[in-house]
A and B are shown apart, each in its own frame.
Chain A
């Protein structure tokens, strides 16, 4: 088996089995794990505190207990997380971190304290006005407060050296991911849509010191291969998360490749590098300030549509694929604005609404296949 195939198989396995991967990572690193709700959790600080930050992106599960706190119209991922929490699935976590970006996350923070009393919750609140000096100063202080909460949890001080080292590990990881997604875009036959997703997802459950070298190695192997001629449909995916995996199976069945993405679980998490100047916290603040086109970070200019159009043009993509996780209010608010911009540029756009508790994918299958037929007209 080639080195590339071996690495891909390892990370596909890791991304497909979150709990097993986290438990193995805890064993290998001898660290306790801290769960990170989506999105923009400052994992560097958790890592510097000596913990293993692990992603909490819900999953397919029957909802029995979560309905006590979250109604059917709440975010599908949050409902899954509460369900898993109440069932004891997350019992191995030392704490969970909840970044407050929407109304549901606000409620979850309070719900968690009652619903899952055995696992402490540490909230972190990002500023709405992140681009003004007061917003930057606030976020820096919030990072410091967050670090103090972690110090209380561990009983140890986060040293400056540990913070610098952790920051560099995460910046190295993000740079590696940016190069990885460029390489996958040039090799859509070798790295199909599902493989790309699972490899990126694996990073949420592994120590970045172990994960990043694997990603670099995959990128190196891909770059050694000739650029591939993909004869399918190239799309820019946008939204919160490209799940459940049956959605990815349907994309692969219809020869649709994600050439680049604007997904919270994927590129939004690593497409912006931290700033070079200032303290570690100031550099981290700069990374949030410099993010553009993300629905969860307020931006008066609403640049998402223009950004997606630029991505389509840059990659010569055939369409924009909107993956709307039920019921993500911020994403739903943005959609009418960027949809009109994309349509006025005569770029095909497909809206697929999905949920983690999807019991039948036939409607989604018909939508995606019809869209593929519409674009190819080769039926």
Chain B
């Protein structure tokens, strides 16, 4: 069995491949680096796959918490793992948009599925999952409700501030002026899409464009990105776990290399 672990800033993900490179387990726990999240995700994945740690031949860890996790054979960045996971799950992928809890990345792939180029957001939270969290708090809803709120909008409120903190003030002003929560929610999605569009231009995007990371579960973000990019943006299967799956694929391939050399 081959284990891929993705320890993000706000969630921990685990994927397990069997000896035929088939995905047999995938779990997500909404607790990130520095918490017990990774151990809970591992426990759940082992139960789902009906295996124990002893059955694992090779482990690769990725994500923000990869440096401090000591029980893996190797650590690889989430850029490489999202690329490998995406090409394992889908064909003809050229551009990957990965929006996580505190960062956003756009990855351009070569024809053979390897990374050709990538860009990451800078330190600030503009264009990341954190931006949506802040918007949800201001609008008084759960983050999972933002998409359905945006779907009910009859207009769109423009949020021009790049900075998440300033955008929060801007949204409060809009609400005070009587704008509807639905229209502001729609504007929040467009604001993220505009930030990510800039990153896509920097890396040079082309179809097929897919989205990974937890934010891909939000249908309104996919719609907003498709509109901004002028290309259909689709979610990867199991978008939250793509990085962990990529890590598991690398684990399988590393083990394969080792045993062939062996």
Contact = CB atoms under 8 A, between A and B. Distances in A.
Nearest to B64: A362
B162 interface: no
A370 B103 contact: no
A363 B120 contact: yes
Interface stretch (B16-24, B77-85, B165-173): B77-85
Interface stretch (A26-34, A130-138, A191-199, A371-379): A371-379
A266 B80 CA distance: 33
Given A362-B64, A365-B67, A379-B250, A374 B123 contact: no
B78 A366 contact: yes
A373 B115 CA distance: 9
Nearest to A349: B117
A367 interface: yes
Interface residues of B, number: 19
Interface centre among A365, A366, A367 (most CB of B within 10 A): A366
A353 B80 CA distance: 21
Main secondary structure of the interface of A (DSSP, over half): helix
Contacts of A353: 122
Contact of B120 (A366, A373, A374, A379): A366
Nearest to A362: B64
Contacts of A362: 64, 67
A291 interface: no
Contacts of B74: 379
A366 B77 contact: yes
Contact of B80 (A363, A365, A367, A373): A373
Interface string A223-258: 000000000000000000000000000000000000
A345 to B, nearest CB: 15
Contact of B123 (A363, A366, A373, A379): A363
B52 interface: no
A362 B65 CA distance: 9
Chain B binding surface, main DSSP class: mixed
Contact of A373 (B64, B77, B103): B77
B76 interface: yes
Contacts of B79: 366, 370, 373-374
Interface string A303-346: 00000000000000000000000000000000000000000000
Contacts of A370: 77, 79-80, 115, 118
B129 to A, nearest CB: 15
A189 interface: no
A367 B120 contact: yes
A374 B254 CA distance: 16
B114 interface: yes
Contacts of B103: 363
Nearest to B204: A343
A374 B78 contact: no
A362 B74 CA distance: 17
Given A366-B120, A370-B79, A379-B250, 7 more contacts: A353-B122, A366-B64, A366-B77, A366-B78, A373-B76, A374-B117, A379-B74
Interface of B: 64, 67, 74, 76-80, 103, 114-118, 120, 122-123, 250, 254
Interface of A: 353, 362-363, 365-367, 369-370, 373-374, 377, 379
